[in-house]
Amino acid sequence: MSWRQRIAEEARQSYPHECCGILLGKNAPDGKFEVTEIRALPNRIQGEGRGTHFEADPLFLYQVEREIEGSGLEIVGFYHSHPDYEAVPSREDAKNMVPGLVYVIVSVTREGVTDIRSYRRYKKN
């Protein structure tokens, strides 16, 4: 299963809640990237706001950073799902995008995954 398929599967299983995770792999100097592993991030938000909001646990992120230290892997970016919403960044998503990192957004409905798109913001020169 490719990493895109695995993310799609996770988005489907999390529905109607959002899923979120880290893309691990390598950034190439030409702007291309390679994803070799994905890590699901637990959503800190429990209960009602869970379908529409996601808050990653910073401690978990820190642990993953420690774990890949010296392994040659790096954090390429992040993925998350939009249950019943199109695969475009929300205003909040756009605001939180770190230049250079890849952001994959999965649109998912009751019927399954309808769209997967990648975004990356470049530094302004």
Q: Which residues are catalytic?
A: 18
**What's the rounded Cα separation, in Å, for the pair 114 and 8?**
9
Q: How far is the CB of 54 from Zn ion (least distance, A)?
A: 7
Strands 102-109 and 74-83, bridge-based pairing: parallel
First to last CA, the chain: 38
Site string for Zn ion, 4-33 (x = CB under 5 A): ------------------------------
Nearer to Zn ion (CB atom), residue 90 or residue 114: 90
**What's the rounded Cα separation, in Å, for the pair 50 and 120?**
25
Nearer to Zn ion (CB atom), residue 48 or residue 69: 48
90 is a contact residue toward Zn ion (CB under 5 A): yes
Kindly tell me which residue out of 39, 93, 97, 101 binds Zn ion, with binding defined by CB under 5 A. 93
- Sequence-distant (6+) residues with CB within 8 A of 95 are none
Q: Which residues bind Zn ion (CB under 5 A)?
A: 90, 93
